[in-house]
Amino acid sequence: MIKIMDKIARIKELVEILNKASKAYYAEDIEIMSNFEYDKLYDELVALEAETGTILANSPTQNVGYEVVSELPKEKHPARMLSLDKTKEVDALVSWLGDKKGLLSWKMDGLTVVLTYDNGELIKAVTRGNGEIGEVITANAKTFVNIPRSISYKNRLTIRGEAIITYSEFEKINASIEDVDAKYKNPRNLCSGSVRQLSSKITAERGVKFYAFSMVEPEDTELLSSFENSFEKRFEYLQSLGFDTVEYKAVTADTLPDTVKEFSAKIPTNDFPTDGLVLSFDDTAYGKSLGTTAKFPRDAIAFKWQDEEAETTLRDIEWSPSRTGLINPVAIFDTVELEGTDVSRASLHNITYVKDMQLGIGDRIKVYKANMIIPQLSENLTKSGNLAIPDTCPACGGSTEIRNDNGTETLNCVNPSCPAKNIKLFSLFVSRNAMNIDGMSEATIERFIGAGILHKLSDIYHLADHRDVIVTMEGFGEKSYDNLIKAIDNSRKADMAAFLYALGIPGFGVANAKLIVKAYKSDINAIMDAVPEDLMEIDQVGEVLARDFVEYFHSEEKRSEVMRLLDEIEFIIEENTAEQDLEGMTFVITGSLETYPNRDALKKEIEDRGGKVAGSVSAKTTALINNDIASNSSKNKKAKSLGIPIISEEMFNNKQFT
């Protein structure tokens, strides 16, 4: 009796854990558990339910997903959308297929969407939701880059498929986000958030694609008969209507194992995320005759690859601070080969995860790649639990504290001046219009700060002292290191205005810097000793900017750091021999250029000749430079309304400013 009660208690525990993970994944787009862990616990629950005969009403083996929580309209699906039963054994697939013909296809990892067409037009799109009720996203679906807006078939037709964002598009979107903490964790989360936007404009900017994988049974008997009970013919028909379908191959029990291998070999080069394969009976009438279980249809089954595991030794934990103050633990272990690549690092997520795994340095651990891509720990074999949680931040040496947020413990730096929290300052310093140090992305800066080799701006010029640390960092090697040091050395010869801009003085831009450098005749000491009254005499330098500029150099800490930087760099003072024929004139540049390589080149010429370049047209503008003089752009309209001349490059070069 005690034993059975223990098993029922374990069932209750598993139901709670799995439901929490499912809710986070499907309803909140948060992944708190790896697929490997979820599948392991799910299989344990299935076995316990079979053994005890006890199945709870809220068991994930009985329910499908969770209610959606967005503000989008809700709608009930005409027929309940069930999950697929799954296996990790190829032999089980072969046995399931028996002597029937099957279709093997990708199980894409995105967001399932149901499209309804009528009279050849897309009239409705609904997300899967909890399988019974989904969210209406019709306007958003119409922006999917490869979806047919109109089709040749005029009767009602309902199609199911997966909305996805490719890896290349995912990386492109993440690269455009400067804030490291705001970057998306994976394409699936980005896709889910993109498809469920309240604004279809945002969806349109995300490059979402749709791949059809099935058709709801049409009422049109003539169309049905044309399919000849063949699932493959349905795919072919969808393709004829203009739909992209998931890649599939016809298989038999004999060819199935080799076909699984063929799909497996494509994973490293696929540009789309997947979490397995789907095997369906080609004979749709036969599949339909099999009916369903409470949760699964019997005409298809999902296959998930056996995660390739490797045993290794945990050598260290890298505590990596971020701009939010969160300090993330990363496991460093002896290099192992997984899915054809060398792996030596894996995220440990948070303190709760570290404690649950009972980690300690020297432990024997098992690691794998989630979905054959992301390194994760699957098991700790020795469970020493002797890992010390640091009480000081590796970036600043300040105190740390453990915070508990809804049962999850995280390590945080409490120092508001921690350099990890000021990544924007470092990022500005190395940017193109500042010191122009290529190879120092925000992610790289954050990594250097986390390693304790970057505390202040001047430390950038001493990174060569940490070569042994840098070349072993993820994403770095000898070549990357050499390129970075070369870029740093190139920045030692600097433009003074770019340097002043790079310091990050509040409200201080490149244009202001050039005006001040010019006014003080490139005398850096005079600039640092400037007083507000003198600065305010410079055009475009107001009281607030003048005060902030002076306060910056009156700060002993900041002035000392500037002096350290000045020890590392040499200013290039270019004597301006250009005729000052544009003195007192202000220009605005818009549109494409023909004789200048870019706007910066034209801007430099104007400034060298004593003129100024503004970003918007005003009553003070001398002329708007736009080769398309007749365009109806907003700047052209504004110039015309104010009586400001609109001139081409040729007119500018001929000094035709009126």
Q: Which residues are catalytic?
A: 107
Helix axes 543-554, 556-566, angle to 10 degrees: 80
Which parts of 359-453 are beta strand (E)?
364-370, 374-380, 400-405, 408-413
Residues in the chain: 658
Tokens 């701009």 sit on residue: 323
Residue 374: both structure tokens together: 């992301």
> Do residues 296 and 83 lie in contact, with contact meaning Cβ atoms separated by under 8 Å?
yes
Strands 326-338 and 408-413: antiparallel
Identity of residue 466: H
**331 bridge partner residues:** 317, 346
Alpha helices in 113-220 (DSSP H): 138-141, 167-175, 187-195, 200-204
Q: Which of 649-657's residues contact partners 24+ apart within 8 Å by CB, and which partners?
A: 649/593, 649/594, 649/595, 649/596, 649/602, 649/625, 650/595, 652/587, 652/602, 652/623, 652/625, 653/595, 655/581, 657/585, 657/622, 657/623
Decide: 96 and 279 in contact? Cβ < 8 Å: yes
Tell me the residue ranges of DSSP E strands in 497-641.
570-571, 586-589, 612-614, 623-625
Compute CA distances 417 → 10, 320, 403, 505, whole Å: 46, 16, 19, 16
Burial of 429 (0-12, 13-18, 19+ CB in 10 A): buried
Query: Nearest 5 degrees, angle CA 30-CA 35-CA 41?
Result: 110
Query: Which two structure tokens, joined as six digits, stand for 224?
Result: 């049905």
Taking the C-alpha atoms of residue 216 and residue 159, their distance in angstroms, rounded to an integer, is: 6
Q: Quick one: CA dihedral 506, 509, 515, 521, positive or negative?
A: positive
Q: Return the closest-CA partner of residue 218 out of 160, 259, 144.
A: 160
Helix pair 442-450, 423-430: axis angle to 10 deg: 130
Contact of 591 with 624, CB cutoff 8 Å: no
Scanning the structure block, which residue is given the tokens 């540009």?
Answer: 271
Residue 631, burial from CB neighbour count under 10 angstroms (0-12, 13-18, 19+): middle
